[in-house]
A and B are shown apart, each in its own frame.
Chain A
Amino acid sequence: METELRTGVFICHCGINISGVLDIEDLCEYARTLPGVVTVQANLFTCAETGTSEIKAAVKEHDLNRVVVAACTPRTHEPIFRASCQEAGINPYFFEMVNIREHCSWVHRHDKEGAQAKARDLIRMGVAKALFLEPLETFRSKVEPKALVIGAGIAGMTSALAIANQGFEVILLEKEVEMGGLLRHLHKVAPSDMTAAELIGEKIAAIEKDKRIQCFTSAALEEVTGYVGNYAVRFSCGDESYSDKVGVIIVATGGASLKPVDLYNYDGEHVITQSELEIKLKDGNIGAKSIVMVQCVGARIPERNYCSRICCMVGIKNSLHIKEIVKDAKIFVLFRDIQAYGVENEALFFKAKEAGVRFIRYSLESPPVVEDGKVKIYHAGMGKEISLPADLVVLSTPIVAHDDAESISRILKVPIDEHKFFLEAHAKLSPLDFATSGIYLCGNAHYPATVREATYQALGAASRASIVLSHDTVERVGTVAAVKEELCSSCFACVKVCPYQVPHMNERGKAEIEPMQCQGCGICVAECPAEAIKFAYVSDEQITAACEALYAA
C-alpha cells in the first residue's frame, strides 16, 4: 500500500548569493546520501523559469512525490515552488523549502566552514521533514451576498450605504427606536459647521430610500453561527424574531458617553455634561454667562486609563458655539492635556483662544473643586488656588463602551479589551478586521472616534467586507487543525485555549473544529492532552523528524 517516497532536492546558487559562500557541489553530494532522495540538482536560479522547468521535468523523469528546494526564504518564494509542484502534478503541500540564503550564506559569510555545516544540517532536516509532509485539501464554501451591520449610528449607516451601493443587500440593526446613534443628540459637528441633524438626516433618508437595505430598529442580535461567507444570524425586532443568512458582519455598535455620577457635584442642572450642553446649544438657550468646562472627567484615571480623544475638541467646539449665542460669555476650560491633532482641529483650538476662551491646566493630584456658583482650581502659573465664577459647569466625560458590548462580543465570538472596546485583529496590518474572517469593525465600538474617523473606518470596513461579498465562494487552504474524534477525551482544553473560540463540543460530545473558522495557529494541537488534534500542515511527525535530523552523529 505504502507508496515509495521519492524526494528530489534542488539547490539554488542564487547567482553568487548562495554559491559565493557555500560549496554547492558538496551540498549536492551530501543531499544524495540522505534517505528518500532520488535526485539532486543544482540550479543557477531555481526560481527562474529555467529552474522551475527543471523541477517539473525532474518530477516526471524521476517520478518524484516530494520536492525540497534549498534556496532563499519560503516567505517570498514558497508559492512559486508550490505552483511548480502543482503544475507537475503533485500536491503543492508535498513541498518543503530550506532557507540557505537569508539564514545561512548571507549571515555567515566570514565562517564558510560553519556555514557549510549549517547548510548540510538544514538540508538534512528539510529532507527528513519532507518524508512526513501531507497533502492538504482546499475547503470551498458559498458566499451569501448579504451583509449584517450592527448599529445604525454614523459608522453603521455609512457602512450599510457603502455596501448597498456596491449592489449587495444589507440588514441594518439598531437597538434604539430610531437611527442616528450618538449624533441624534448633538448640535454641530466639528470641525465643519454642519449640524448633526443634517448629517444623519441625509443618511437616514438615503437608507430609507434604498431597497437593498432592510433596517430594523428596536432590534437585538441574538445568535450568530457559521463562518465567513456563511453566517446564520438570528435577531429580534420588537416581539418578532428573524433569522437570515449573511456573508459578512460589520460591528458598528458605537459607544456611550459616561454619566459622571458622583463626580464634581454633577446634578444635570448647574453641573452638566457636554452632551447635555449640546441640547442647550440646539435650543439656543444657554442660561449662563460664566461657564467652566472640566476635561478628562472620569478619564485617564487609574480605573479608566485611556484618553477618549474626542472630548477636547468637543469642549473647544462647544466653547465657540456658546460664544456665538452668548457673546460676552466667560469660558474657562480646565484641562490636563489638549488633544487637538490635525490641521482643522488645531486651527479651531487657536480660534477658541483668540475668541477669549481661557485654558487652565490642572493635574490629577489637584483636581478642580466644584462648589455652588464657583470652581476652585490650583493655578500652576500663579502658584496658588484661584476661584472661577461659574453659573454653569460642563463636564467632559469620555466615550465608554456600551453595556451590551460584552454580550455582542460573546455572540460573535470576537474579543473586547479591558475597557470593553472591540479589539481588531492587528493594529496596523488589519485595523478594521477581527481575527475571525468575515467580521469587521468601525467607529466608537472600537475606540472613541470623531465623526470623520468613524466615517473613514466605516467606508474601510465596507470595502473589506465587499471583498468577500464580491466572490461567489471563499476558499480556505487546509492549513487547519482537525480533531481525531476517536481519540478525543472531551477535556475542553482546545475549547479553552483557542484564541478564536473555534473548537466546540459536537452532539457526540467530542471536540470539533470547523475548518472554515480555524486560523491554523496550532495552539490547541500542542495543548491537547490526548494528542487527538491533527495538524497536517505542521504535524508532530514533521517537527519530530526535523528534531531527529538536527544532529548527524
Chain B
Amino acid sequence: MNNFEPLIAVFSCHYCSYAAADLAGSSRIQYPPNTRIIKVPCTGRISVNHILRALECGADGVYVAGCLEGTCHFVSGNFKAKQRVQSAKSLLGEINIEPERVQMYFMSAAEGSKFANVAKEMTETIKELGPSPLKGTNTQ
C-alpha cells in the first residue's frame, strides 16, 4: 500500500475554483496528479447524492471547491454546498466510512496557489487514510 495513489473527485464551480485551477495551470504551479475535476456552474448544484456517487464509483476522496464565503457568484450556492458536504460526512460516518474523505474548500478565482495546495493537502489526507474501503478486499 506504499504506492497507493488516491483517486480524488473535485466538484469545482465555474466562477471560482475552476478558474483557480486554470490559474494554477497558467502559473505552472505543480501539484500531485490525483485530482479529477467535474465542473459545475455553482457548487450549489452538487447534492449529497453526487458526492456519495463519486465515492461509490471508486473515488478515494471527494472535495467540493467553491467561491470564498460571502463571494459566491450565485450568492449562497457555496453555503448550500457546505451544508451538503457536512451532511455527506455525517452519512458516511453512519456507515463507518471516514468522513474526512469528503471535504469542502473555499477559494477565489485568483488563488491558483491555494488550488494547488488544497489538491496537495487532500492527496496527503487520503494517502494517510488509505484506499477507499469500498474498493474492498482487493487492496491487499
Contact of B47 with A by CB under 8 A: yes
Residues of A within 8 A of B107 (CB): none
Given contacts A125-B38, A526-B45, A544-B53, contact A107 B24 (CB under 8 A): yes
Contact of B31 with A by CB under 8 A: yes
Contact of A435 with B by CB under 8 A: yes
A479 to B74, CA, bound (A): 14
Contact of A523 with B by CB under 8 A: yes
A121 to B33, CA, bound (A): 11
- Give the interface size bracket for A toward B: 35 or more
Question: Are B80 and A114 closer than 8 Å at their CB atoms?
Answer: no
A524, chain B: closest CB distance, angstroms = 9
Question: Are A523 and B42 closer than 8 Å at their CB atoms?
Answer: yes
A118 to B32, CA, bound (A): 10
Question: Are B73 and A426 closer than 8 Å at their CB atoms?
Answer: yes
Segment at the interface with B among A54-62, A96-104, A311-319, A402-410: A96-104
Given contacts A107-B31, A499-B74, contact A102 B24 (CB under 8 A): yes
Given contacts A107-B29, A107-B31, A543-B50, contact A526 B39 (CB under 8 A): no
Question: Are A523 and B25 closer than 8 Å at their CB atoms?
Answer: no
A290 to B32, CA, bound (A): 71
CB contacts under 8 Å to A, within B26-43, are: 26, 28-42
Question: Are B59 and A551 closer than 8 Å at their CB atoms?
Answer: yes
Question: Are A521 and B74 closer than 8 Å at their CB atoms?
Answer: yes
Question: Are A543 and B14 closer than 8 Å at their CB atoms?
Answer: no
Contact of B54 with A by CB under 8 A: yes
Contact of A520 with B by CB under 8 A: yes
Question: Are A526 and B46 closer than 8 Å at their CB atoms?
Answer: yes
Residue in contact with B33 in the complex, picked from A111, A500, A550, A553, CB distance below 8 Å? A111
Contact of B9 with A by CB under 8 A: yes
Given contacts A102-B21, A103-B25, A550-B58, contact A537 B46 (CB under 8 A): no
Given contacts A522-B45, A537-B41, A543-B38, contact A111 B32 (CB under 8 A): yes
- Give the interface size bracket for B toward A: 35 or more
Contact of B7 with A by CB under 8 A: yes
Residues of A within 8 A of B73 (CB): 426, 521
Given contacts A115-B33, A550-B7, A551-B7, contact A543 B22 (CB under 8 A): no
Residues of B within 8 A of A304 (CB): none
Contact of A415 with B by CB under 8 A: yes
Question: Are B41 and A521 closer than 8 Å at their CB atoms?
Answer: yes
Residues of B within 8 A of A547 (CB): 9, 38, 50, 53-54, 56-57, 59
Contact of A106 with B by CB under 8 A: yes
Question: Are B41 and A538 closer than 8 Å at their CB atoms?
Answer: yes
Residues of B within 8 A of A95 (CB): none
Question: Which of the listed residues B22, B50, B59 has the most CB atoms from chain A within 10 Å of its own CB?
Answer: B22
CB contacts under 8 Å to B, within A302-336, are: none
Given contacts A547-B38, A550-B9, contact A106 B58 (CB under 8 A): no
Contact of B82 with A by CB under 8 A: no
Of all chain B residues, the one with the shortest Cβ separation from A426 is: B73
Of all chain A residues, the one with the shortest Cβ separation from B59 is: A550
Contact of A371 with B by CB under 8 A: no
Question: Are B28 and A106 closer than 8 Å at their CB atoms?
Answer: yes
A535 to B45, CA, bound (A): 10
A544 to B47, CA, bound (A): 11
Residues of B within 8 A of A479 (CB): 41
Contact of A347 with B by CB under 8 A: no
Question: Are B24 and A497 closer than 8 Å at their CB atoms?
Answer: no
Mark each residue of chain B from 56 to 99: 1 if its CB lies under 8 Å from any CB of chain A, else 0.
11110000000000010111110010001000000000000000
A25, chain B: closest CB distance, angstroms = 19
Residues of B within 8 A of A210 (CB): none
Question: Are A526 and B44 closer than 8 Å at their CB atoms?
Answer: yes
Residues of A within 8 A of B33 (CB): 104, 107-108, 111, 114-115, 117-118
Residues of A within 8 A of B56 (CB): 547
5 A-B pairs (CB sep. < 8 Å): A108-B32, A426-B73, A522-B77, A540-B50, A543-B50
Seed contacts A522-B44, A526-B84, A537-B41; 8 additional CB < 8 Å A-B pairs? A106-B28, A107-B25, A110-B30, A522-B45, A523-B74, A527-B47, A540-B50, A551-B59
Which B residues form the contact surface with A (CB < 8 A)? 5, 7, 9, 14, 18-19, 21-22, 24-26, 28-42, 44-47, 49-50, 53-54, 56-59, 71, 73-77, 80, 84, 116
